[in-house]
Chain A
Amino acid sequence: MALSLLQPGAALSAEWTAPEVDILRSLWIGTLGPPPPDPTNAVADDPDAAAMGHRLFFDTRLSRDGNIACATCHRPELRFADGLPKGVAIGMTKRNTPGIIGAAYSPWLYWDGRRDSLWSQALSPLEDPNEHGGNRMQYVHIIANDPGYRRSYEALFGALPDLSDAGRFPEDASPLGNDTWAENWRQMTDEDREAVNRVFTNTAKAVAAYERLLLPAPSRFDEYVAAVTEENEEQKNAIFSDAEVAGLRLFLGGGNCTQCHNGPLLTNFEFHNTGVISAPGDVPDKGRIVGVDQVRADPFNCLGDYSDAAIENCAELRFVRAGTELIGAMRTPSLRNLENTGPYMHQGQLETLADVLAHYNAAPEAMIGHSDIEPLGLSDRELEQLEAFLLTLAAPAATSERWLNPPAADTPHPHGD
């Protein structure tokens, strides 16, 4: 450390008022705590479920063509995002792939919040024709036929149903699939469909248990807040440059950033229309106004038959708001780990952080609905300072290496590099 070389007062000493320190501490990772319990998932914090989920997350067999795993788009080396404007698996998705570090803290999943738990979210890509492209019956057969999965599954959830009667349990079936799969699903009895849904959802609950281990680590910003709290001037000056201090001041003040990017994950997990222009060739995305109807109708939501939660644990869903304010509204993303997770926004419309800040500074009218933001009137220099500050929120995942790589020898590496 070169601390002793710094002249006292060499860097502009940043004085923070007591209320500012209070806000800084509210953004500090030290106030985050472990992920909130997930009452919808009885195995949410079971290490054996996480181990099974780890294997599932990297398993390319869970796809129509045998090439797509969760990790294909949620790439550990890119903070579990993919670096693309929109996700690309079997086809191209409609939106930007979010990173999943810290996703366990969010009451809503997806940009439009159309799912309300990690496991109910994990079900959707598996059956989306542009993503994994398979069907639930196919996946349930994989669980039953793979000795390792079968063993893990039965230890966690009890006996698998007997799937040996191909008349009752065809190779492919799903209410969401192509005509053949949908017809196969229609021909199944209610009881058999329920049994398949049960295995399908339990499998996703194991994936969710794994995802709950993907947590953010302290960043340089968090070290700075610790130094502010301890009133350690030398440390403060060593950790943050003048530009970063100035950027932080703008973040709390003239940038209006903490209206939405608040709390230790720098998100309020809510939905806001910020007037981001849709990607070329795309119609404006309706966002939350559609997502709220979808999550209410989702058979796998907190109140559904496959959730382990009691009704009193479903407050977010029971008291979810609808209304025209949600037209074009998207979920506020965390600002931790912006350094290599571009392009940004719900369709990856904005290439760089500078582009994002320029957007907020200009605050154009929304294409649909009403934008929540107003022009900031910041100078180029101030925008650079804000960007410098935002990059101090970068940190590796607080998750051991073994969870960040495919499990040993079980499955081939997902395609791609």
Chain B
Amino acid sequence: MLTKIGRTGSALVCLLMFLMNPAAGDAAETSDGSTPVDSEQGLFKVSYRSSLEPIVINEMHEWVLHVSTPDGQAVDDASISIAGGMPAHNHGLPTNPQVTENLGNGSYRVEGLRFHMRGDWEIVIDISAGEQADRVRIAIRL
């Protein structure tokens, strides 16, 4: 019985955290896209614009990423790969999004994004440009 109450209680706490407080939990705060996110070693800043605003579950859409150096210079010769998933659920993305076009001035089109659950997602972007390589994690809460 105690176990049961404990489980129900913790499920309820998780649910409340999920429902009531967008900034709570283990994941980083949701990026709004327009505020650049620093890469792990500070080599790049990345912002994004989604074709779906707000982002909702189960709809295929695309992003435009903007990659710059820390001092704001556009990085327009980057090779970029996209991964990610839901860290709390230990699973990846339901799709395999890819950069399909270099739009110039540090902007890149990413196609094939779709999220299939509510909750905390992380988009992991590996960027290499010239000699430099770094990783950016963008948090999304749906």
Contact = CB atoms under 8 A, between A and B. Distances in A.
B118 A258 contact: yes
B23 interface: no
Nearest to B8: A254
Interface string B91-102: 111111110000
Interface residues of A, number: 28
Residue among B19, B20, B89 with the highest chain A CB neighbour number at 10 A: B19
Interface in B72-112: 89, 91-98, 111-112
Interface in B117-137: 117-119
Interface string A1-35: 00000000000000001011001000000000000
B116 A270 contact: yes
Q: How large is the interface on B (under 10, 10 to 19, 20 to 34, 35 or more residues)?
A: 20 to 34
Contacts of B94: 268, 270-271, 321
Contacts of A412: none
Contact of A254 (B11, B96, B98): B11
What DSSP secondary structure best describes chain B's contact surface?
Answer: mixed
B15 interface: yes
B103 to A, nearest CB: 16
Given A254-B11, A319-B112, A377-B7, A262 B58 contact: yes
Contacts of B98: 319
Contact of B95 (A19, A23, A263, A319): A319
Contacts of B11: 253-254
B35 interface: no
Contact of A318 (B89, B91, B111): B111
B19 A17 contact: yes
Contacts of A320: 95-96
A413 to B, nearest CB: 38
A361 B131 CA distance: 51
B3 interface: yes
B58 to A, nearest CB: 5
Nearest to B95: A319
A253 B58 contact: no
Nearest to A264: B58
A379 B4 CA distance: 8
Contacts of A269: 58, 116
B117 A259 contact: yes
A260 interface: yes
A168 to B, nearest CB: 42
Contacts of B89: 259, 372
Interface string A247-287: 00000011000111011000011110000000000000000
Contacts of B8: 254, 377
Interface in A342-391: 372, 377, 379
A269 B60 CA distance: 12
Nearest to A252: B15
A321 B92 contact: yes
Contacts of A268: 57-58, 94, 116-117
Given A260-B117, A262-B117, A262-B118, A323 B58 contact: no
A319 B111 contact: yes
Contacts of B112: 315, 318-319
Contact of B57 (A20, A263, A377): A263
A74 to B, nearest CB: 25
Given A253-B12, A268-B57, A319-B111, A19 B20 contact: yes
Contacts of A194: none
A321 B85 CA distance: 12
B96 A319 contact: yes
Given A19-B19, A254-B8, A262-B117, A323 B92 contact: yes
B88 to A, nearest CB: 11
B33 to A, nearest CB: 20
Nearest to B112: A319
B96 A377 contact: no
A234 interface: no
Contacts of A321: 92-96
Interface string A214-233: 00000000000000000000
A96 to B, nearest CB: 22
27 contacts: A17-B20, A20-B19, A23-B118, A253-B12, A253-B15, A254-B7, A254-B8, A259-B89, A259-B119, A260-B117, A262-B57, A262-B117, A263-B58, A268-B117, A269-B58, A269-B116, A271-B94, A315-B60, A315-B112, A316-B95, A319-B95, A319-B96, A320-B95, A322-B96, A372-B89, A377-B4, A377-B8
Given A319-B95, A321-B95, 15 more contacts: A17-B19, A17-B20, A253-B15, A258-B118, A259-B119, A260-B117, A262-B58, A263-B58, A268-B94, A268-B117, A271-B94, A316-B95, A320-B96, A323-B92, A377-B3
